[in-house]
Amino acid sequence: NAGVMQNPRHLVRRRGQEARLRCSPMKGHSHVYWYRQLPEEGLKFMVYLQKENIIDESGMPKERFSAEFPKEGPSILRIQQVVRGDSAAYFCASSRDREQPQHFGDGTRLSIL
Amino acid sequence: SQQGEEDPQALSIQEGENATMNCSYKTSINNLQWYRQNSGRGLVHLILIRSNEREKHSGRLRVTLDTSKKSSSLLITASRAADTASYFCATSAGNMLTFGGGTRLMVKP
């Protein structure tokens, strides 16, 4: 069974560009979560999606950030007009349902020049 | 401040010793989970303990939960060099996991 797959593993963008991070959940998992981790810190929740629906986006900045989980294809976290402060590791997790453990991908490390 | 706070922030022990990490949280929870993260990698789920459970075992791991004190502990027995990693507790009380800052464990061979 393939785990949660995230790509790219590393992404470098210049200030003002757009960053697109992709996440394919584990087979059979319809719940996807995105987290952000700064160096030496724990993960901070951003958004929770269930096929085609955003369930909770309380941790996501209101501007420049958006997420989707279409019926077909991976979940996408999109950051428009990136700034230096967006540099972080972004992790995706998936689960069968809300009560089950979340399984994490290896993350995308975003660096803003 | 964070829902989960781990203590200590860093721990260095010799191989074969036991390692104990503690976690405190602030609000009511459905369950509490422990994860391990190796450098540059994602989190690996270790164990989940529900709010109505007090203790749980998995191999060399033992987790306790005291809901009256809003605290949990993770004990790793007979540690190995491969246990070197950061360990995070995460509380679940709705749609998300809320993570603490982690304990960085180093096990010296």
* Contact with chain B for residue A39, Cβ under 8 A: no
Question: Cβ of B25 under 8 Å from any chain A Cβ?
Answer: no
What average pLDDT does range A4-23 have in this prediction?
A: 97
Q: Which of B9, B97, B98, B104 to mutate to test the interface with A (most CBs of A within 10 A)?
A: B97
Task: Give the whole-number percent of chain A exceeding pLDDT 90.
Answer: 82
Quick: pLDDT tens for A44-95: 999 999 988 999 999 999 999 999 999 889 999 999 999 999 999 999 999 9
B44 contacts in chain A (CB < 8 Å): 104
Cβ–Cβ contact B35 with A under 8 A? yes
Longest dimension (CA), chain B: 41
Contacts of A40 in chain B (CB under 8 A): 101
pLDDT score for A1: 52
- pLDDT of B1: 35
* Cβ atoms of residues B83 and B107 within 8 Å: yes
Which runs of E-coded beta strand occur in chain B? 5-7, 10-14, 19-24, 31-37, 43-50, 55-58, 61-66, 71-76, 85-92, 97-99, 103-108
Q: Is the pLDDT of residue A23 over 70?
A: yes
> CB-based contact (8 Å) between A56 and chain B?
yes
Average pLDDT over residues A37-50: 90
B76: nearest Cα among B5, B9, B31, B84 = B84
Query: Is the pLDDT assigned to residue B101 strictly greater than 60?
Result: yes
What are the tokens at B82?
């491969």
Confidence of residue B103 (pLDDT cuts 50, 70, 90): very high
Picking from A44, A48, A107, the nearest residue to B95 by CB comes out as A48
| pLDDT for the residue numbered B2 | 41
Q: From CA A96, how far away is CA B71, in angstroms rounded?
A: 27
Mean pLDDT rounded to a whole number for chain A:
93
d(CA B105, CA B94): 29
Residue B33 has pLDDT above 90, yes or no: yes
